[in-house]
Amino acid sequence: MRLFPRLLMHHLVVVAVTAAVLLMAAELTAHPFIQHHVDEMIRLIGPDGGRMRADLAGGMRGTLTRALLAALPVALPLAALTAWIAAQRVTASVRVLQAGSQAIASGEYVRRLPEKGQDELADLARSFNTMAGTLERVEQSRVELIGNVAHELRTPATAARGYVEAAQDGILSPEQALGSVARELATLERLVHDLSLVSRVEAGRVELHVTDLRLAEVLAAAQDRFQLAFEDQNVTLQLETVPNDLTVRADPERAQQVLANLLSNALRHTPRGGTVRVTVEAHDHRAVVCVTDTGSGIAPEHLDRVFERFFRADAARTRGEGSGVGLTIARGLARAMHGDLTVTSHPGQGSRFRWTVPLSAG
C-alpha cells in the first residue's frame, strides 16, 4: 500500500475515534447540564411544564448530537488534505534520499542531500551527508593506496628489469646483474611483508606474545643494530641509560620493531652532523620512550597524517627510501600492546615521537 492511502486511513481512524469520544463525553457531561436547565424551565413555567420535560431534554441533546455529526463532513476532507500534504512532503524527501542512495551505490560519493529545516527529515539528510563524506574519504584513500602500492612495487621491478637488460646487452656481467636483481627482489619482498603486516595490524589480527620485558635490553639491541648505519650517515645516536629493573609488558619482537621503525625514520630525516636522542620516562604505570631528532621537522598541517600509509610530508623525497608504512606499523603495534605512539614537531627544530608502553605489574 502506498504512503498516501495509509496516512489517509490513519487520519480517518483518528477522526472516527475523536467523534466517538466527543459523543460519549457530551452524553456524560451534557446530560446533567441539560437536566438542570430543563428543571429550571419547568419550575418557571409551572405545572403545565411537566409535559414538556421530555421534549425539551430530547431536543437539546439531539441538537448537540446533530452538531457533532454535522462536523464530520468538514473533518473528513480536512483529514484527507492533511494526509495528502504529509504524504507529499515525506514522499518528496524519500525520493531525494532514494536518488542519493542510488548515486552512492553507483560510486558517486560526491552526492549530497539538501539539509532544510530542523525536523527529523533534515536530521536524516545530515546523517546521509555525513555517511557520504566518510565514504568519499574512504574511496579516496583506497585509490591513493592502490596508486602508492603500484608505484612502490614498480620501482624495484623496473630496476630489476634494467639490470637484466644491461646483462643481456653486455653492459653488466651476469654476476653483477644477479647481485643487483637480488637486492631489488629483497626490496620487493620487504615491501610485500610490510604491506601484509600493516593490513594485519589495522585489522587487529597481529599475533602477540606479551611478556615482562626489560626496556634496557630493547634499547641495547636497537643500538647494536643501528650504530653502524648512524655512523655511516654521520648522525649521532644517543641512548639514555635505563635501569635494568625497568620492565614493561610487551612482545619482545614487536617492541624491537616499533623502536626500529622509529630509529629508521629519524635517521632518514636527520641531516649529516645531526643527533637522534632516545630517552625513557616512567610515570602513571607507563613507560614513555621518546625518539627525538634534529631534522627539518614536520609542518603542522601534516602532523595528523604522518601515520598514514605511504604519506610523505616531502613529496620530493625518493619513494625508494623505506616502504612508506613503517610509522603506520609502529603505531599499530604500539596500540596492539595497549600503548600508543604520538608525535610533536616544529618546522626547523626536529620531531619527537613518544611511544608509551605499560609497565609490568611487579
Of residues 141 and 165, more confidently modeled: 165
At residue 288, does pLDDT exceed 90? yes
At residue 128, does pLDDT exceed 70? yes
pTM, whole model, 2 decimals?
0.60
> Quick one: which of 294, 289, 304 has its CA closest to 347?
294
Question: In this predicted structure, what is the pLDDT of residue 189?
Answer: 81
Question: In this predicted structure, what is the pLDDT of residue 27?
Answer: 61
Question: In this predicted structure, what is the pLDDT of residue 236?
Answer: 94
At residue 6, does pLDDT exceed 70? no
DSSP 361: -
Q: Which of 82-86, 137-141, 212-216, 332-336 has the lowest mean pLDDT?
A: 82-86
Question: In this predicted structure, what is the pLDDT of residue 8?
Answer: 62
Of residues 235 and 25, more confidently modeled: 235
Residues 6+ apart with CB under 8 A from 237: 223, 226, 227, 230, 263, 275, 276, 278
The domain spans of the chain are: 3-105, 123-202, 211-358
Which amino acid belongs to residue 8?
Answer: L
Q: For 211-358, CATH number?
A: 3.30.565.10
Q: In CATH, what class is 123-202?
A: mainly alpha
Question: In this predicted structure, what is the pLDDT of residue 37?
Answer: 63
- Over residues 84-92, the mean pLDDT reads 68
- Over residues 209-219, the mean pLDDT reads 91
Instruction: Name the helix (H) or strand (E) containing 286.
Output: strand 286-293
Rounded CA-CA distance 35/58 in Å is 10
Average pLDDT of the chain is 79
> Quick one: which of 185, 176, 180 has its CA closest to 157?
185
The strands making up 351-358's β-sheet, listed across from edge to edge, are: 236-239, 275-283, 286-293, 351-358, 340-345
Do the domains 123-202 and 211-358 sit in the same CATH topology, yes or no? no
Alpha helix (H) residue ranges in the chain: 3-45, 53-70, 72-105, 120-168, 174-202, 215-232, 252-269, 326-336
Q: Which of 59-68, 132-141, 191-200 has the lowest mean pLDDT?
A: 59-68
